[in-house]
Structure 1
């Protein structure tokens, strides 16, 4: 019997009123709030032009081009948070009740999401510093590992609706593991390879091909 077969046979949660403290809606709303705050704080960390930088068009242009790293990392971090939030939104729309493990894994996920503006600001100020790159990459990897853990718990335990596609949830977990591993590798390469942050644009390919590879390996176990 394969892992996939075991997962598919996990019973769905009964369509009943959740116990107090186990309502998916409240957890989803709180998660949405943390993501919204973190995504807003990203732009606050971008340096503003002051003094001579505002004297004329040429000075302002020099300032903006000099700060391109900050804008690049802001957009990248925003898109990463957006995609994690969007996938979490899809997952929570299929959850009908909570259990202790599923709820508990939200704590490190939201802690890391709230923390992400700091490494984003750090790498914006030190774009070529391998330690700054490593801190950002490992922070993002940790977010994705928590996301993968949530999806694993969701397809292995009876928290999903009877109409949920458990196989799709499992494939989503595989993609999260793959991109998390991708960022760990990128963090390690930062110490020897210049321009690593630009390579982070390849994350969608890591999700697609790495996730498919993990799914294939899991079916063979």
Structure 2
């Protein structure tokens, strides 16, 4: 008889990881499905097709942007799940709003593709991304505080801080969309907010330690 401990029904990390991967794959595929296709008139000549492709440039830019962002979120989640050896109700439950927002993202992507300079369209996209990565941050916080991850819990908390930083970046850029045109260009740099902004948040969250106090918590 095998000595392997099986997880309780409904608490298999592998099944949750597979399901999450499927949602991301479908969402990333739907980004391309939302792109307009040329009709017969636009396919009649190279000039007509070229004009169509130029007219759709904002849609292609929005597609590339959303794909890169979803890839970065999926990659971070993939790394997290590789360190999870068990689940909890809170960890599993927070995947519901997280994946809901992942599945919803193709819609605001299509909206900004049709009207990239509309501040309301930009706010819709930025708000969706901000909510998504904040859910990701909560999931990481839960994994760190409840000991679901293998390895150093401090590393999991640092990763959560990176997610909070990305969420803040989208909130600020959503506000900037009402002040400057093409604020969505800032979103291409959102993945950089994770290592740099996360390090700043981690430093702010770490209590000050007196070097002469041997009982003070170490960072």
Query: Residue 122 of structure 1: CA displacement?
Result: 0.8
2:28 aligned residue (28, 39, 48): 39
Which consecutive unaligned segments of at least 5 residues does structure 1 have? 1-14
Q: Which residue of 2 aligns with 1:173?
A: 160
Match of 1:185 in 2: 172
1:126 aligns with 2:120: no
Aligned to 2:191, which of 204, 210, 220? 204
User: Which has the larger Rg?
Assistant: 2
Superimposed CA distance per residue, residues 7-57 of structure 1 (whole angstroms, 9 cap, x where no aligned partner): xxxxxxxx8432111111111111111111111101010111113321211
Residues 1:220 and 2:197 are matched in the alignment: no
Number of residues of Structure 1 aligned to a counterpart in Structure 2: 205
3-state secondary structure, aligned to 1:20: coil
Query: Structure 1 or 2: larger helix share?
Result: 1
Structure 2 gap segments, 5+ residues each: 209-219
User: Residues of 2 paired with 1:84 and 1:206: CA distance?
Assistant: 12
Report the Cα distance in structure 2 between the residues aligned to 1:65 and 1:180, rounded to whole angstroms: 32
How big is each residue's C-alpha offset from its partner over 1:79-124, in whole Å with a ceiling of 9 and x where there is no partner?
1111111111111111111111101100000100010010001111
Residue among 132, 145, 148 paired with 1:143:
132
4+ residue segments displaced more than 4 Å:
none
Q: Tell me how large the CA RMSD over aligned residues is.
A: 1.3
SS of alignment partner, residue 58 of structure 2: helix
User: Which of 29, 40, 54 is 2:43 aligned to?
Assistant: 54
Task: Give the TM-score of the pair, scaled to structure 2.
Answer: 0.90
